[in-house]
Amino acid sequence: MYLPDIEVNRRLNTTEATLNNVTIHGFCGASSRAYAAVAYLRVRIESGEVNTSIIAAKTKVAPTKPQSLPRLELSGAILLAGLKQIKESMNVPACQIFAWTDSTIVLPWLFGNPEKWSTYVRNRVVEILDTIGNHNWYHVKSPENPADSASRGQSLQELKNDELWWKGPDWLRVEEEEDCDKLQELLKVIILYI
C-alpha cells in the first residue's frame, strides 16, 4: 500500500562506535479489536544525543470468538517475542533488549511458574520464555505504550501525527542517568507483582 503522507527515516545512526550504546525496546498491547507489538531502536550517538526510531511493528485482528483482555494482551506479548529476528539481524546482545507491556496480569504470568497456569496460558508463556526469556520484561503505563495505538486503530491523519507511535515514549529519549532512575522505579513495581 502506498501512503504518500507517511515517511519512515531508514537511517538508524548505528555504527561500530555506537554499538554499545544501542538498545532495542519492544512494546506490546491489546484491545478487544486487535493486539500489537512495536519495536524501537534507541541509539545514543557520540554527541550524547539519544535518537529513537521505529524498526518493526506487527498487528493482528482479535479472534471473532470473544477472548478476555488478559489473553489478548498475552497474544500481544507473543507477537513481541516473535520479533526476535530484529535482535538476531542487528546482532544486539540480550542484555540490551527490553520488552514492555501495560498488562499487570501478563507480567506475573511471565515471572511465575508456568505449571500454575491454565493450559492456554502455560503454552503461550513457555513460548515467550523459550524465545526471549523473562529477564527483560517491564511494565509501562498505558498512556506511554505505543502498541496501544496499533491495537485500537487510528486514522491516517492521526497516525501521521502520532509522536508516540513514531518515536516511542518520551522517556525513551532522555539521558542515561534518567533512564537508570526510570528503570529502577519500574523494577520496584515489578517486584511488587511477583
pLDDT digits 0-9 by tens, 75-98 = 999 999 988 778 777 777 778 889
pLDDT digits 0-9 by tens, 124-133 = 999 999 988 8
* Cβ-proximal residues to 121 (8 Å cutoff; 6+ apart), any chain: 71, 74, 109, 114
What is the chain's mean pLDDT, rounded? 83
Of 1 and 168, the structure prediction assigns the larger pLDDT to 168
pLDDT at 23: 87
Region class of 64: left (phi > 0), else alpha (psi between -120 and 50), else beta = alpha
pTM for this structure?
A: 0.84
pLDDT at 188: 53
Average pLDDT over residues 14-41: 85
Angle at 127 between CA 111 and CA 120, to 5 degrees: 85
pLDDT digits 0-9 by tens, 95-122 = 888 999 999 999 999 999 999 999 999 9
User: With contact defined as beta carbons under 8 Å apart, do 61 and 79 qualify?
Assistant: no
* Assigned C-alpha cell, 19: 554499538
User: With contact defined as beta carbons under 8 Å apart, do 128 and 106 qualify?
Assistant: no
Domains and CATH numbers, the chain: 23-193 (3.30.420)
